[in-house]
Structure 1
Amino acid sequence: MTKAAPETVRVDLGPRSYDITIGPGELRRLGERLRAVTTSNRVAVVTDENVHALHGPAIAEALSDFQTHMIVRPAGEAQKSMAGLEVVLDSLFRAGFDRSDTVLAFGGGVIGDLSGFAASIYKRGTTFVQVPTTLLAQVDSSVGGKTAINNSYGKNLVGAFYQPRLVLIDTDLLSTLPDRQVRAGYAEVVKYGLIDRPDFFETLDAGAGAQVLALEPDALRDAISVSCLAKADVVAQDEREGGCRALLNLGHTFAHALELTAGYDGDLLHGEAVSAGMDMAFEFSSRLGLCSAEQTQRVHDHLSRLAMPTRADMGRFLTDPNALLGHMRQDKKNEGGRITLILARGIGHSFIEKSVSEADLLAYLKDIST
């Protein structure tokens, strides 16, 4: 993997630009990084019980020069709800926070999405900082300003685009991450290669992917840097997903339908659904004659070799094709009543298809349900 991958990535959004700092031990530098983006001395740290138990003393030490207010929530996707949002907002109000103070997300994607949305609407917006503690959050959800909660209609359907002032990525925090969570995060890493960076996919497929899963420090730092740079480039072009940013949802329309079917109880992690969803996106692309069977098989083989979930592992969530199609109709990317999917003409050659035939899609879902 290239040693030229940056350890500081700039997300270029004019007056809303910010840095992503990446490396071991970054948490120890959180105080000085915060001083560069805020004049307030008050920080509300939103985290979950698992992260707090593992890293609570470390975040307290990193913020020892600040007045900190801890908001500790149960772990799990269920926190991304109206009820979970109300708890965070109520805690901020009771603590007397104002718009100049900072809301800091210290956790995975659930905590980042929940606290980011809270920061975006609390008194019409307060300073927001991301300190992601999972691989998935470090390479994807902490970057780009998407914040949201779920509802009964689907995933991330209530939210806002709200950029952080800083994303601080400490790769040492991954040492306590369960293997299942590491694999869930890897799905978002390989996604960037499958979208438009075939050389990155080649590097991962040649062995770097296994090194990332083993948390080998150099491979991990470089993979995170390349992933963040890839996402930063897209976000700089299309901050609010009016165009090319939709490419970052490769596999996600299938994945969100699977997650809604599974329920948000931890039975199916977001990254696991994305892994299977990318397998399905390539499979469906091949069925439509867009992608060769060889390229589709190579994606499947890469995921399988690294013990990543594929479509074959999703059987229990594929039993009702019509319900899955109904879930996919709720996707945020859809326009004019037509389903939008990210499809592929090959590895590194993904594209946005805004007029997917529902008949073709339902036929595919019916075939794989049997």
Structure 2
Amino acid sequence: MSGPDWTGRVLELEVGPVAHGGHCVARAEGRVVFVRHALPGERVRAAVTEDKGGSFCRADAVEVLLAAPERVEPPCPLAVPGQCGGCDWQHAAPAFQRELKARVVAEQLQRLAGLDWAVEVEALPGGVLGWRSRVRLVAGPDGRAGLRAHRSHRVVAVGKCPIAVPGAVEQAVERRWRPGTEIEVTSDGDGRVHTRELATVRGKRRARQLTGGEAVQHAAGRDWRLQAHGFWQVHPAAADTFAAVVREWAAASPGALAWDLYAGVGLFASVLAGQVGATGHVVAVESGRRAVRDGERNLADLPQVSWRADRTERVLQSLSGQPEVVVLDPPRSGAGREVVEAVAAASPARVVYVACDPAALARDVAFFGAAGYRLERLRAFDAFPMTHHVECVALLEPAGKGA
């Protein structure tokens, strides 16, 4: 049965704990209210922005009656209710942002995997501004490029983006575009800006490269050339940082077999190849055909790496051999039960799981637990400052190891 519609109503709320998704939890008249632009412990007036009549609704804190000591002035004037939806925590001090993310990761692990785990979110080099190397803008009805409001198709025009790499969006926002055009902007490891437009013309989606096209990146001791708007870590320091953790935890032996699942262009495959050496074998699995082509080209000097261009679920049905280590870096939705069970059935000595969503990670850690693997180590990184996103790297090993 549908409940009341509070849309537009202003509530006075005592703000409770942080929740996954960039908001905090409050309660009013027996209902849960997910509040953005607030911090735990604050008292606010919040305007309800979305209510589908169920047990919860969504709201924005439009007035702070009692501020948390960690509250700061947002560096971007558009990081406020009703404006740009790209950032979630600009109103929190950077150290407290990381604390909030740590609480979310720990809560997900406890709720979904039954693990009580102390989590620390580590900062990456470079500070909390000027880090975003890839931005997708959209042209509003007036042709001005901007970013969408939270949970909305409404375009908020921007003059600049404080979290973007300097120079990344300025050219795009200075010109006028056909309304509805999406503009992808990427700043690569050499500081070159690559721009393409995505537009729907006569019902067909078309992409047109405007500047650049082939990006250069630097990570794991290698130079990478790849399609500028394909997958690469958004934070300039992330790829090298994650590769270092994978190198330490994978610890593949010379001559061993290793699997790199959801391999992208082969960042982690290159690390594994260096460990197993010329007598070993790394199987890199990636569904994106362009990423596979880029990976084969970039790792042409590593014949011990072989590529499978298909969905991970399908490839795992035919992979043979017992890998010493499996690295997987799935999309935000996670690996899922089918992949986890197939990996566990191969009996690797170590699994290194790189995750960009704590809920998906915690769910998959639970699946690994049911399949006989336990979480041994976990590191979390603030690879997306000012947003609610957090990157984790987990090490899983057979539960009976060392027992």
* TM-score range normalised by the length of the shorter chain: under 0.3
Whose strand fraction is larger, Structure 1's or Structure 2's? Answer: 2
Whose helix fraction is larger, Structure 1's or Structure 2's? Answer: 1
Structure ranking higher on relative contact order (CA contacts 8 Å, 6+ apart): 1
Q: TM-score, normalised by structure 1?
A: 0.27
